[in-house]
Amino acid sequence: MTARLRDALRTAAEGVPAYPVYERALATARRDRRRRVAAATGALLVLVVAGVALPLGRTPAPEPAATADAALPDRIALPPIGTLHVTDRPRLGPASVIFSGPAPRLHGWNDVNVVGVVDADSDRYRIMRMGGESLAGGLVHLSPDGRYLARPEGEQDDPGVEVIDLVTGRTRRLTSRVDDSVASTPVAWSADGGSLVVRDDVPVAFDGATYTSVLSAVTVRDNRWTRLAAGAQEARVGSVVAAAPGRLAYQYGRTVAVTGLDGRERSSFALPDGTWLAGKGAWSPDGATLTLANRRSGTDEWTLRRVDPATGRDVGALRLPAVSGVVAIRLLGWAPDGSALVAAYQPEPLAPDRPLEESTDPPSTRDGGVRTVRVLALTPGAAAPRTVLTAPDQVVDVDVADQVLRSGRIRDARPPGGVGGRFWLWTGLLAVLVTATVLYQSRQRIALWLDDRRVRRARRPGA
355-384 confidence digits (pLDDT tens): 544 444 555 666 678 999 999 999 999 999
Q: Is 432 helix (H, G, I), strand (E, B) or coil?
A: helix
Q: How far apart are CA 253 and CA 237, in angstroms?
A: 7
pTM for this predicted structure: 0.81
Q: Is 320 helix (H, G, I), strand (E, B) or coil?
A: coil
Note whether residue 5 is domain-resident: no
Question: Which region, left, alpha or beta, applies to residue 157 given φ > 0 means left and ψ of -120 to 50 means alpha?
Answer: alpha
User: In this structure, are 324 and 446 located in the same domain?
Assistant: no
Q: How far apart are CA 173 and CA 242, in angstroms?
A: 23
Bridge pairing between strands 72-73 and 410-411: parallel
pLDDT at 45 over 70: no
The residue ranking higher by pLDDT, 406 or 419, is 406
Q: How far apart are CA 384 and CA 427, in angstroms?
A: 49
User: In this structure, are 68 and 204 located in the same domain?
Assistant: yes
* Span of 43-52, 331-340, 404-413 with lowest mean pLDDT: 43-52
The confidence band for 343, taking pLDDT boundaries of 50, 70 and 90, is very high
* Span of 16-30, 312-326, 338-352, 377-391 with lowest mean pLDDT: 16-30
Amino acid identity at 342: V
The residue ranking higher by pLDDT, 12 or 58, is 12
Q: How far apart are CA 81 and CA 426, in angstroms?
A: 12
User: In this structure, are 153 and 130 located in the same domain?
Assistant: yes
User: In this structure, are 321 and 438 located in the same domain?
Assistant: no
Q: How far apart are CA 74 and CA 117, in angstroms?
A: 15
The residue ranking higher by pLDDT, 433 or 34, is 433
Note whether residue 294 is domain-resident: yes
pLDDT at 198 over 70: yes
Of the candidates 414, 399, 412, 272, the one whose C-alpha atom is nearest the C-alpha of residue 341 is 399
Q: How many domains does the chain have?
A: 2
User: In this structure, are 110 and 82 located in the same domain?
Assistant: yes
User: In this structure, are 415 and 437 located in the same domain?
Assistant: no
Residue 44 is predicted with a pLDDT of 55
Q: How far apart are CA 5 and CA 1, in angstroms?
A: 6
Rounded percentage of the chain residues whose pLDDT exceeds 90 = 61
Of the candidates 133, 132, 131, 134, the one whose C-alpha atom is nearest the C-alpha of residue 116 is 134
User: In this structure, are 296 and 318 located in the same domain?
Assistant: yes
Residue 120 is predicted with a pLDDT of 96
User: In this structure, are 390 and 438 located in the same domain?
Assistant: no
Residue 411 is predicted with a pLDDT of 97
Q: How far apart are CA 148 and CA 399, in angstroms?
A: 13
Paired residues of 113 in beta bridges: 107, 130
CB atoms within 10 A of CB 204: 13
Find the Cα–Cα–Cα–Cα dihedral 118, 119, 122, 123, rounded to 10°.
Answer: -30
User: In this structure, are 454 and 371 located in the same domain?
Assistant: no
Note whether residue 15 is domain-resident: no
In Å, what is the CA distance from 352 to each residue of 231, 347, 355, 368?
32, 10, 9, 9
Residue 41 is predicted with a pLDDT of 60
Q: How far apart are CA 320 and CA 328, in angstroms?
A: 16
Q: Is 402 helix (H, G, I), strand (E, B) or coil?
A: helix
pLDDT at 62 over 80: no
Of the candidates 168, 235, 172, the one whose C-alpha atom is nearest the C-alpha of residue 199 is 235
Domain of 129, CATH number, reads 2.120.10.30
Q: How far apart are CA 10 and CA 3, in angstroms?
A: 11
pLDDT at 146 over 50: yes
324-337 average pLDDT score: 96
Residue 132 is predicted with a pLDDT of 81
pLDDT at 51 over 80: no
Of the candidates 290, 404, 297, the one whose C-alpha atom is nearest the C-alpha of residue 341 is 404
Q: What is the pLDDT of residues 269-297, one digit of tens each?
A: 999 988 999 999 999 999 999 999 999 88
Backbone angles phi, psi at 66, to 5 degrees: -70, -10
Residue 38 is predicted with a pLDDT of 62
- Residue by residue, what is the 3-state secondary structure of 210-253? CEEEEEEEEECCCCCEEEEEEEEHHHCCCCEEEEECCEEEEEEC
Note whether residue 391 is domain-resident: yes
Amino acid identity at 108: G
The residue ranking higher by pLDDT, 132 or 206, is 132
**Domain ranges, residue 453:** 21-50+423-459
247-272 average pLDDT score: 95
User: In this structure, are 298 and 438 located in the same domain?
Assistant: no
Note whether residue 88 is domain-resident: yes
User: In this structure, are 195 and 270 located in the same domain?
Assistant: yes
The confidence band for 50, taking pLDDT boundaries of 50, 70 and 90, is low
Note whether residue 159 is domain-resident: yes
Note whether residue 219 is domain-resident: yes
User: In this structure, are 151 and 293 located in the same domain?
Assistant: yes
The confidence band for 165, taking pLDDT boundaries of 50, 70 and 90, is very high
Note whether residue 352 is domain-resident: yes
The residue ranking higher by pLDDT, 156 or 208, is 156
